[in-house]
Chain A
């Protein structure tokens, strides 16, 4: 026999044998018995609503919350901005104090170097004979031949 069994019989008003003995010892069941007795005296009582919730107030607040959530989600899902890589700072131009003649000589020298380094491809060079004339070009001169003989 549990307290729940006794209490359920209590609210039906049909106690079983042995329930009174349990009730004499159990404070929880005594409380339910007193509660049941008190509740029986409530017959005919009409209660009124203690509080009222305005649907408009709830909907307005819900709208605000939804708008805030939407704003947060929109910001979170926005594509990231293109960030330029930082450009290394250029060193400041060096001011040179050069004599005009020296500068002209330097320019001529650099142009000469440039000309030698970046020589244009040529197909005919008066200095270098063509491949067909190579034998005559490399042939020993008459002086050398005479010396040999």
Chain B
């Protein structure tokens, strides 16, 4: 097993490569984990924060955090869920900060810049825009639970694991989010499957 204490992993900073070719920590391949999980994690982060650059930064910071705390992971099979949990927590903190800035801008009467949407389907873009505005009005936990459940397609148990809360609480967050969004008329009309 190569030394892993000093130096930074190859994926951490471009151009700075540690001497190790493969980073194995307590029986699991950290670099292999990063290689397989980076894209899904970035997609997950994008679904939560709706910004590709922010999502990349979040995942990068989460990987650095995971690298620093790699010794706390006992079960290699739990590594993907562990990484997802770190990313979700960071994304929720990011959303809280963004919400704070938004609130501060409203108090100070600073008009937020409208981000132009790109794409050919104008009607769909408009609908997604209304959905995004409505989601921004929800609490951070409701928004994260809704995004993980419906946009990412996770089960309630997976959402609970990713958010670090119990299944019943996730159910409440999801129900309240659906109810609020439905009242605002931003959810598409479709009867649920039996």
Q: Which residues of A contact B (CB under 8 A)?
A: 4, 7-8, 10-13, 28, 31-55, 57-58, 61-62, 65
Contact B128 A48 (CB under 8 A): yes
Contact (A36, B136) CB under 8 Å given A12-B171, A48-B51, A61-B110: no
Contact (A52, B151) CB under 8 Å given A7-B179, A34-B190, A38-B189: no
Contact A45 B128 (CB under 8 A): yes
Contact (A51, B113) CB under 8 Å given A11-B171, A42-B151, A46-B46: yes
Q: Mark B154-194, 1 if CB is under 8 A from A, else 0.
A: 00100000000000000110110011011100011111110
Given contacts A33-B191, A45-B128, 16 further A-B contacts (CB under 8 A): A8-B171, A11-B175, A31-B183, A35-B179, A35-B187, A37-B193, A39-B178, A40-B190, A40-B193, A46-B46, A47-B135, A47-B151, A49-B51, A50-B136, A51-B114, A53-B105
Chain B residues touching A, range = 35 or more
Residues of A within 8 A of B190 (CB): 34, 37-38, 40-41
Complex CA gap A32/B175 in Å reads 8
Residues of A within 8 A of B193 (CB): 37, 40
Complex CA gap A55/B108 in Å reads 12
Contact (A50, B105) CB under 8 Å given A10-B175, A40-B150, A58-B110: no
B15 at the interface (CB under 8 A from A): no
Contact A11 B174 (CB under 8 A): yes
Which residue on chain B has the smallest CB distance to residue A61?
B108
Complex CA gap A13/B175 in Å reads 12
Complex CA gap A43/B153 in Å reads 6
Closest 8 CB pairs of A and B: A37-B192, A35-B182, A51-B112, A38-B188, A38-B187, A39-B150, A61-B108, A43-B153
Complex CA gap A137/B127 in Å reads 133
The secondary structure that dominates the A interface is helix
Name the distance in Å between B105's Cβ and chain A's nearest Cβ.
Answer: 5
Residues of B within 8 A of A34 (CB): 182, 187, 189-192
Contact A8 B172 (CB under 8 A): yes
Residues of B within 8 A of A50 (CB): 114-115, 129, 132-133, 136
B61 at the interface (CB under 8 A from A): no
Q: Mark B81-123, 1 if CB is under 8 A from A, else 0.
A: 0000000000000000010011011001110111101000000
Name the distance in Å between A40's Cβ and chain B's nearest Cβ.
Answer: 6
Contact A39 B108 (CB under 8 A): no
Name the distance in Å between A2's Cβ and chain B's nearest Cβ.
Answer: 12
